[in-house]
Structure 1
Amino acid sequence: MKRIIYLSLCACLLTSCSLDLQPENGLTYSNSFNTEKELNATTTSIQYYINTTVGNNYDFATAGVLADNILDGKQLREWNPRTVITSEYSWKGFYDIIFESNLLLDNIDRTKDLSPERRNYHVGQAEFGLGLSYFLLAQRYGDAIITENSSVIKPYQQSSQEQVLAAAIEHAKKAYDVLPTWDKLTDLNGNAITNRQTASKGTATALLAQIYAWKGSVTELYHLKGNAQEDYQNAVKYATELIDNKVGSYQLCASPEVLCTYLSNEKSPNPEAIFSLYFDKTRSENVVSPNEIAQNYVSWPVREDQTLADLTSSTTYQLYKSTVETLFPDTTDKRLQAFFYQWGTQHDVDGTDYAIMYKFRKAIFDPDQYSPSGKSYRTVDADYVYWRLADIYLLRAECNQKLGNEAQAIADLNVIRNRAGALSYPSTYDTEGLKKAIFLEREKEFIGENDARYADIIRNGYVKEELQGKFKVLTNQDIQNGALFLPLPKDAWQDKDGHVINNQLRQKPYWQAYN
């Protein structure tokens, strides 16, 4: 079989690299799906594109990151419209995942001698890929394209955010229905799969909790069609299945220090990790961790090519000690000692005392004859733990608070505080109410670790309070017109030579003036 398939929606030219295995699918498909080995090539491609796409969230990570200084992207942080619309964002990677997932689902019935269990494994990876892609497209772009399958060639119109989220839920539920728990995952040779990127029932459950929490929030805050209260209830339902170990065994790390030990050792499976992007160091000699946030926070002493004095000139994200003290007013909180290097010791650079991020404690360096240290920093040596159990506790707390179930919300909030040795809610430091306390707890727990802060801000309606620049003057009409989402990417409607390939797409009203 030889198939040549063009995706007019995104001028999709699929690349070929590896996540342990080399994807065999490209623009020309010669594999026939006759055997599971051939089928597995497409499953591997789905895994590869998830690995290289999901963590690529530079614009929103830059806009939402908690930092006092950043070396790059200051105009993005201010949400300067002309800077945003000319930045190098793209949704192509998501449509690579969608295409490969649809390709597998369209052809899996041609695979011979595939047991029901192995069929469910491959279908589950594809359905999770579709659910995750549509969720993140809705979260980052609002409106997006929903494709029919891997072979229909036509210019697609945008679907509304409500429709894209509905598609995400549909596929996530299908993954939830067929996938086993993570401890029962095996590869085509019968070997146990230990990485937490491969989708399991727990992964699909976390995805459903995240989708429903987002859907309820944007429905309530930004006047989408739907039932926010029902969405919050569904988010609580799926979060509870995870917390109660009904969809796999996950446990909170015993302390913040133990958590940091796991974050810095990808070879030791983190019991708290539900979904992680695997750091495949064999892919190339220049490969970096999928976790750009952690990579950009790390400085001296983890960076052996730095001294403390170099912090302000070569560390992308910088935090003042005073900012961390404001975020963590409770000095009994063990996260201060675990997350920040030598907390309590002054780290003065040019008259300013800095907090030194210490969540990730291993780095990869390359030889550099021009560096005084003889080496240059490449990346942190860590997987990207995208969702972990603490996230699910705090997400359930957030949704219960929005449902008016304050006792349940407080109980979950205090699980995370108690693990950190911090004062229980309510304490003398909780002066802004339960909703803000939960939001701030997420800031404390995930600082320097993931790109979730922008989404947390949008979900809770704290745009003008927590973001900078243009965000502070956006009107309700600006928000309705798409200002909080990325503009339609150029590669959605034109090819690399500037030729229009899809004339059915329309730029969001807010961004039209800046095209």
Structure 2
Amino acid sequence: MSHFKTQNMTYNKIFNKINTRYLLVCIISIAITSCSKFVELGAPTTQIGVKEAFQSDASATSAVIGLYLTQFNSMALNYSGVVGSSADDIHYSTSSVNYDQFSSNAILPNNSLNGNNLWGSSFSELYQINLVIENLNASTALTPALKNQLLGEALTLRAFINFYLVNLYGDVPLELTTDIATNALIPRTSSIKVWSQIIDDLNSANGLLSPNYPTTQRARINKYTAMALLAKSYLYNKDWTKAENYSDSIISSGIYSLNTNLNQAFTNTSNEIIWQIANTTGVSTFGSNFLAPKGVLPNYILYDTLYNSFEPNDLRKIDWTMTDTIGGKPYYYDYKYKSRSGTGNEYNVVFRLAEQYLIRAEARAQQNNTSGAISDLNIIRNRAGLNSLSTQLTKAQVLLAVEQERKVELFGEWGNRWFDLKRAPSISGNTGLTRADDVLSGIKTGWKPTDIFYPIPSDQILANTKLTQNQGYN
């Protein structure tokens, strides 16, 4: 399996490790019990094997909910904070060799954050998702509507993990089964095929899921969650028509609306939220890492360049950032989440409506519908207290306006800024370069065009000799 840590792990050890999956439902049941605030289930099943777990609606539901509870909250921070460090977004507040490599875009192949927190956690989660998908497909005992819902959730989660892997590393092993022997020696799959699988999974999920959320507070995936990731995936693949169509479907559904008060946008009852990952305290992973008592640095802070990029009177700067001076130096914090400890009313928001307006704006601009794009941008800008953009902007100007609005709207959220810089072509006219080259080469010493992909962890290449290293890291 490509995500195991060392070459020295024998197959016996691997099988012993994987056999712990038979404890999965028992472990999930314990977790579900502690998370009863946001999960509505019958009594969970205990001490049963995986196949048996998919012979009743309640235990199968527990298994799927376990996919949300295993690693997603920690992955939320890694996908946001560690990945954001590579852009001009947020970064770790104190000096650390592993974190500093992301901030300086000089990641070594043996970096443990890269190997464990990004690559390792992602493939570990993928294994559990594939295990659930296989057993759902094999089960004939489940209520058909429930089986569709659960399978749609699992397929969306698999697409979500693969979305991050392909954006972080380019070509990656495409693991779709729980066959250990196969996965242990699978080579890197073309990113084109990985993207195709992501879109196939999401289209399948879209056909299986209902617009209704299976629990309160949008803590599990519904049809529009799959559509949100579909819109984003089509945008990244330059299928502008489909990106616009899916984002438009979400916007016009009537289910979601933008919060007029920005301070309420990230509360767990916000109508702007499409999908959020729940917790038991109401204190999000982000709030506890982005905030600290006055005079103390939180774990993550904003880049100065990001803080200084807001227009005057932008409510997002007023409501979503804060400053503190420590040792005579000013620091800037992400203040989208307000609770850092104790109890609160915030979960980890993954997708929200504002991003769909920005996706539709970009897709419209790329199709030369600049007036439609400007209209979408103005909805986001006006919500932030800013004046509307001129209707006379050119296509190139509109696309730069989209980039700017994504920067100041989505900062600190799931590595969006890093992905935006990587996927957009350079405006310098140099073929093959990206906006990351335009922007980051002026901020970060030693920036190289090959830095847009992270290195394949060195211990993975030792364990699986069919893996190759990304350009720039040999």
Taking structure 2 as the reference length, what is the TM-score of the superposition? 0.78
Cα separation, 2, equivalents of 1:469 and 1:85: 27
Residue 456 (str. 1) matches residue 449 (str. 2): no
Distance 1:428 1:20, change over 3 A: farther
Structure 1 match to 2:316: 335
Task: List runs of 5+ in structure 2 lacking aligned partners.
Answer: 6-13, 35-43, 425-433
2:247 partner amino acid: A
Aligned residue for 1:20?
32
Mapped partners of 2:455, 2:105: distance in 1: 12
- 1:289 matched to which residue of 2? 284
**Match in the other structure for 1:465:** 438
What is the Cα deviation at residue 337 of structure 1? Answer: 3.1
Q: Aligned partners of 1:508, 1:323: CA distance in 2, in Å?
A: 29
2:83 paired with 1:36: no
Q: Using a 3 Å threshold, how does the CA distance of structure 1 residues 353 and 127 change in structure 2: closer, same or farther?
A: closer
Residue aligning to 1:240: 248
Number of the residue aligned with 1:87: 112
- Alpha-carbon offset, residue 382 of structure 1: 3.0
1:204-353 alignment to 2 at 5 Å?
Answer: 204-216=226-238, 231-245=239-253, 249-259=255-265, 263=266, 265-266=267-268, 269-281=269-281, 289-291=284-286, 294-299=287-292, 303=293, 307=294, 310-311=295-296, 316-318=300-302, 324=307, 326-331=308-313, 333-341=314-322, 349-352=326-329
For the residues of structure 2 that align with 1:474 and 1:509, how far apart are their CA atoms?
14
Which of 101, 106, 122 in structure 1 is aligned with 2:134?
106
Letter in 2 for 1:404: N
* Structure 2 residue 473 is matched with structure 1 residue 508: no
Cα 1:147/1:386, change in 2 over 3 Å? same
Contact 1:386–1:450 (CA<8 Å) still a contact in 2? yes
Give percent identity, aligned residues only: 23
> How far apart, CA to CA, are the structure 1 residues paired with 2:65 and 2:262?
34
Equivalent residues in 2 for 1:95-174, closer than 5 Å: 95-151=123-179, 153-154=181-182, 155-174=185-204
Partner Cα distance (1:506, 1:470) in 2: 30
Matches within 5 A, 1:375-414: 382-414=346-378
Q: Secondary structure at the match of 2:162?
A: helix
Structure 1 portions without partners, runs of 5+: 1-6, 187-192, 217-230, 283-287, 366-378, 495-499
CA distance in 2, matches of 1:87, 1:108: 34
CA displacement at 1:41 relative to structure 2? 3.8
Moved more, 116-125 or 141-150: 141-150
CA deviation string 1:176-198 (max 9, x = no partner) = 111001xx333xxxxxx014341
Q: Which residue, 77, 85, 89 being the options, matches 1:62?
A: 85
Relative distance call for 1:340 and 1:122 in structure 2 (3 A) is closer
Q: Verify the 8 A CA contact 1:464 1:473 in the aligned structure 2.
A: no
How far did residue 148 of structure 1 move? 4.1
Deviation of residue 233 (structure 1)? 1.7
Maintained 8 Å contact 1:250/1:274: yes
Which residue number corresponds to residue 225 of structure 1? none
The separation in 2 between residues aligned to 1:133 and 1:450, in whole angstroms, is 12
The Cα of 1:172 is off from its aligned counterpart by 0.7
Q: How much has 1:348 moved relative to structure 2?
A: 5.1
Question: 1:493, 1:107 → 2: CA distance?
Answer: 30
CA RMSD of aligned residues (A): 3.6
Counterpart contact for 2:45–2:53, Cα < 8 Å: no
- Partners of 2:248 and 2:392 lie apart in 1 by 29
Could you tell me how far 1:121 is from its partner in structure 2? Answer: 1.0
Hey, what does 1:442 align to over in structure 2? Answer: 406
Going from structure 1 to structure 2, the CA distance change for 1:511 and 1:438 (only over 3 Å counts) comes to same
Structure 2 residue aligned with 1:201, among 223, 235, 241? 223
Amino acid at match of 2:188: Q
Deviation at 1:32, TM superposition (A): 5.2
SS at match of 1:274: strand
Q: Distance in 1 between matches of 2:359 and 2:441?
A: 24
Contact in 2 for aligned 1:132/1:172 (Cα 8 Å): no
Q: Partner residue of 1:178?
A: 208
Q: 1:340 to 1:314 in 2, by over 3 A?
A: closer
Output the CA distance in 2 between the equivalents of 1:138 and 1:109.
Answer: 26
Partner Cα distance (1:470, 1:79) in 2: 11
Cα displacement string for residues 355-389 of structure 1 (whole angstroms, at most 9, x for unaligned residues): 56543222216xxxxxxxxxxxxx99731112110
SS in 2 for 1:252: coil
* Change over 3 Å in CA distance of 1:356–1:157 after alignment to 2: closer
1:227 is aligned to none
- The residue type equivalent to 1:486 in the other structure is Y
Structure (1 or 2) with the greater helix fraction: 2
- Aligned with 2:276: secondary structure? strand
Query: Deviation at 1:10?
Result: 3.6
Question: 1:196-240 CA distances to partner (integer Å, 9 max, x unpaired)?
Answer: 341110000001011111222xxxxxxxxxxxxxx1221111111
Note closer, same or farther for the CA distance 1:105–1:316 as it changes in structure 2 (3 Å cut): closer
Q: What is the Cα deviation at residue 422 of structure 1?
A: 0.8
- CA 1:429–1:212 in structure 2 vs 1: closer, same or farther (change >3 Å)? closer
1:109–1:428 CA distance, 2 compared to 1 (3 A): closer
Contact 1:24 1:42 in 2 (8 A): no
Q: Secondary structure at the match of 2:189?
A: coil
Which residue number corresponds to residue 48 of structure 1? 69
The 5-angstrom pairing of residues 482-493 of structure 1 reads 483-490=451-458, 492-493=460-461
| Residues 425/470 of structure 1: CA separation in 2 closer, same or farther (3 Å cut) | closer
Matched with 1:375 is: none
User: 1-side partners of 2:460 and 2:73: how far apart?
Assistant: 19
Q: Distance in 2 between matches of 1:393 and 1:124?
A: 24
Residues in 1 aligned to 2:364 and 2:390: alpha-carbon distance in whole angstroms: 16
Q: Which moved more, 1:159-168 or 1:28-37?
A: 28-37
Question: Structure 1's 351 and 505: CA in aligned 2 closer, same or farther, altered over 3 A?
Answer: closer
User: Are residue 359 (structure 1) and residue 336 (structure 2) matched?
Assistant: yes
Residue by residue over 1:67-104, the C-alpha shift from the partner in whole angstroms, topping out at 9 and shown as x without a partner, is 5993243342111243x642322323322333233323
Which of 406, 422, 426 matches 2:386? 422
Give the secondary structure class of the aligned counterpart of 1:276: strand
Structure 1 258/60 Cα, relative in aligned 2: closer, same or farther at 3 Å? closer
Cα contact 1:60–1:454 (8 A) shared by 2: yes
Amino acid corresponding to residue 363 of structure 1 in structure 2: R
